[in-house]
Amino acid sequence: MNKFKTLIVVFVSFILQITVFSKVDIFGANINLIIAMTIALSLTLRPKTGAYSGLIVGLLEDLMFADVIGIRALSYFLIGTFVGNDRFRFKSDKNTGLLLSFVFTFINFLFVGLITYLFKGDLQVIKNYLFIPVIIEAILNTVIYLIYHLVVNKIMYIPTYRI
């Protein structure tokens, strides 16, 4: 049942991202629902769910909007894998997710910007978005993470084992 609920969350997030939130411009920044969704799913349901959800949504986003296919998909996949990995053992609480959303917004921006620069040679996009807009995007993504944290914890069945 969690797979169906995850599919619904991913589908709704993708539709909202490409229709509404990619068009909303707040002080030069756009909200990225996919980073918050990937982190929430990875912390709650472990790495495979978050990583593959990010990979699929990122690939669809790249196919629809990007000049170079696979950059966002790889970025979201790496975020989901890193956050949910057992080696790092991040807590599944709200504060850890807020911090990770803030940090991974910067990492996503740098990763996507660097690879785009390597393939296209255009540094102007990075210069225009670097300081204030990326900080605003990071703050907005942390707020969106709170919503995802509440939604995922409310609708998903998370088994608890008592010893």
Question: Tell me: the pLDDT tens digits for 12-34?
Answer: 999 999 999 888 888 888 899 99
As a residue count, the chain comes to: 163
Question: Tell me: the pLDDT tens digits for 29-63?
Answer: 889 999 999 999 988 887 788 899 999 999 999 99
157 backbone φψ class: left, alpha, beta (φ>0; ψ -120 to 50): beta
Choice between 163 and 41, residue whose per-residue pLDDT is larger: 41
What's residue 27's pLDDT?
85
Mean pLDDT of the region 68-87: 89
Please give the Cα distance from 84 to 104 (Å, whole number): 13
Question: Tell me: the pLDDT tens digits for 120-132?
Answer: 777 766 666 778 8
Burial class from Cβ neighbours inside 10 Å (0-12, 13-18, 19+) for residue 136 reads middle
pTM to 2 decimals? 0.88
Amino acid at 121: G
Please give the Cα distance from 153 to 19 (Å, whole number): 25
